[in-house]
């Protein structure tokens, strides 16, 4: 852990007295997302040091878990890390005490694989991942302390993550606190959400690993010795503390995944939507410092309908929706394609094709259900790859015309700018 400091006193929030000190929730705009969903029905497995299930701000939020350290079904937290992570995901909101969270109606499945010192074996971590998947977790949070295991040196963990992904589970894992130019989970990059950290100013935290494999960033603090610099959440002494690390950034993303799962957007579709709706920071488009950008809960759930409603809000103006980032990096499109969000009132196929002059640069399609959101990945064509590669070598911009067709709506056209 990089830093631990008692939470400072602050101005009271009307419902949760410490909400005003949770700048991370404000950065990801979770309050605005709660008008659409609060995460009801989603289960997030927090594979960590356990949880203080009796904490007043976690009452009703914790489901049955397992302790792989003591080999029993009472994963109590003797460290504090797991309780802190769990509170970021799903601490109670509006109960008049403590803090709020990203997905306050979601459930936390605590799985203890790290002991009171924060140490554990890769075998236990892998077993914990498999246990969570077998018992219905839709999201897995891997905030494994300051020494996030590198998958290349622990193939059993990488294999377990791959099995979870194959089952349609969203996996969010900390990029690491070593400031290395590589996400410390390189083996499953692309499908797993590798999460880096930013401070309250939106700049990459100095400790946050970045570069190859980084998917997205979220609030993780600065580790500076000043109040309200880090992430305030529940702790295993029954109180609240500020901690900093990519461990704290990751549950912000897991919480957003829980919001999407509660609206029926799961697995790779949820991953793609989280990446596509991130708030771009740093150089235009995905980059090595911030990945796709800062996770944004409000944008991720936009258009999915209010709590308890279907995905379509009804009415002609909301019967379809197309979302795509208008400014992207050429290298990202070359390797990952153009991600387009589609929602329509009728079932059918959403098709997306990007062209430059008469050259088709990228194309893709995906089946969608009425009122549900599907993520289409338009991948580069053979001619498109040559065009993109040439523009990347010459460091030149490209203007593309994206045409999207979906059931019950006329063709939608967007103009995209790709930058080297």
* Catalytic status, residue 48: yes
> How far apart, in Å, are the Cα atoms of 123 and each of 142, 151, 175, 179?
14, 12, 20, 26
Distance CA 276, CA 283 (A): 16
Active site residue 81: yes
Active site residue 66: no
Q: Is 136 left (phi over 0), alpha (psi -120 to 50) or beta?
A: left
> Of 81, 84, 252, 366, which residue is the catalytic one?
81
Does residue 97 contact residue 239 with C-beta atoms inside 8 Å?
no
Please enumerate in sequence order all residues whose Cβ is within 8 A of that of 93, keeping only pairs 6 or more positions apart, or say none.
15, 16, 34, 38, 100, 101, 104
Catalytic residue among 247, 254, 319, 323: 247
* Contact predicate 108/46, CB 8 Å: yes
Distance, in Å, from the CA atom of 77 to the CA atom of 277, rounded to the nearest integer, reads 34
The CB-side HSE value for 325 (13 A sphere, CA atoms) comes to 30
145: nearest Cα among 256, 10, 50, 258: 50
Which residue of the set 16, 30, 34, 48 is catalytic? 48
Contact (CB, 8 A) for 341 and 276:
yes
State how beta strands 338-344 and 373-380 pair: antiparallel
| Residue 107 parent element (H or E) | strand 107-112
Which single residue is written with the structure tokens 């790859």?
A: 385
Say how far apart CA 298 and CA 304 lie, in whole Å: 11
Give 287's contacts (C-beta < 8 A, 6+ positions apart).
Answer: 329
DSSP state of 316: G
Residue count of the chain: 420
Q: How far apart are CA 326 and CA 196, in angstroms?
A: 23
Q: Cα(417)–Cα(86) distance, rounded to whole angstroms?
A: 39
**Sheet holding 231-234: strands in order across?**
4-6, 240-243, 231-234
Nearest to 403 by CA among 367, 369, 371, 358: 358
Is residue 4 classed as helix, strand or coil in its secondary structure? Answer: strand
Side-chain half-sphere CA neighbours of 141 within 13 A:
39
Catalytic residue positions, numbered: 48, 81, 247
């Amino acid at each position: 852990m990089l830093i631990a400091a008692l939470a400072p006193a602050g101005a009271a929030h009307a419902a949760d007295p410490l909400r005003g000190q949770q700048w991370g929730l404000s950065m990801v705009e979770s309050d605005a997302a709660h008008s659409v969903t609060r995460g009801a029905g989603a289960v997030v497995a927090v594979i960590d040091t356990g949880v203080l299930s009796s904490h007043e701000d976690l009452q009703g939020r914790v489901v049955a878990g397992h302790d792989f350290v003591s080999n029993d079904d009472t994963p109590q937290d003797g460290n504090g890390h797991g309780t802190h992570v769990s509170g970021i995901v799903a601490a109670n909101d509006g109960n008049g005490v403590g803090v709020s969270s990203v997905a306050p109606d979601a459930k936390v499945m605590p799985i203890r694989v790290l002991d009171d010192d924060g140490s554990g074996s890769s075998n236990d971590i892998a077993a914990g991942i498999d246990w969570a998947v077998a018992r219905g977790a839709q999201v897995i949070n891997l905030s494994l302390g300051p020494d996030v295991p590198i998958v290349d040196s622990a193939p059993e963990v990488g294999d377990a993550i791959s099995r979870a992904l194959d089952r349609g589970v969203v996996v969010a894992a900390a990029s690491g606190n070593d400031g290395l130019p590589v996400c410390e989970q390189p083996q499953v990059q692309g499908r797993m959400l590798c999460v880096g950290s930013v401070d309250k100013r939106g700049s990459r935290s100095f400790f946050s690993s970045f570069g190859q494999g980084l998917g997205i960033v979220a609030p993780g603090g600065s580790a500076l010795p000043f109040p309200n610099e880090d992430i305030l959440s529940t702790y295993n002494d029954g109180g609240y503390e500020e901690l900093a690390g990519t461990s704290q950034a990751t549950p912000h993303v897991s919480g957003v995944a829980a919001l999407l799962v509660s609206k029926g957007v799961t697995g790779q579709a949820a991953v793609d939507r989280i990446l596509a709706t991130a708030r771009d920071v740093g150089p235009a488009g995905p980059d090595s410092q911030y990945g796709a950008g800062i996770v944004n809960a409000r944008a991720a759930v936009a258009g999915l309908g209010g709590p308890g409603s279907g995905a379509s809000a009804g009415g002609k103006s909301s019967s379809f929706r197309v979302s795509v980032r208008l400014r992207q990096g050429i290298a990202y499109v070359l390797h990952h394609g153009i991600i387009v969000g589609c929602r329509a009132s009728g079932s059918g196929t959403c098709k997306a094709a990007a062209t430059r002059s008469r050259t088709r640069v990228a194309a893709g399609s995906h089946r969608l259900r009425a009122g549900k959101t599907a993520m289409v990945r338009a991948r580069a064509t053979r001619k498109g790859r040559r065009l993109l590669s040439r523009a990347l070598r010459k460091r030149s911009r490209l203007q593309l015309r994206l045409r999207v067709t979906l059931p019950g709506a006329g063709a939608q056209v967007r103009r995209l700018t790709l930058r080297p």
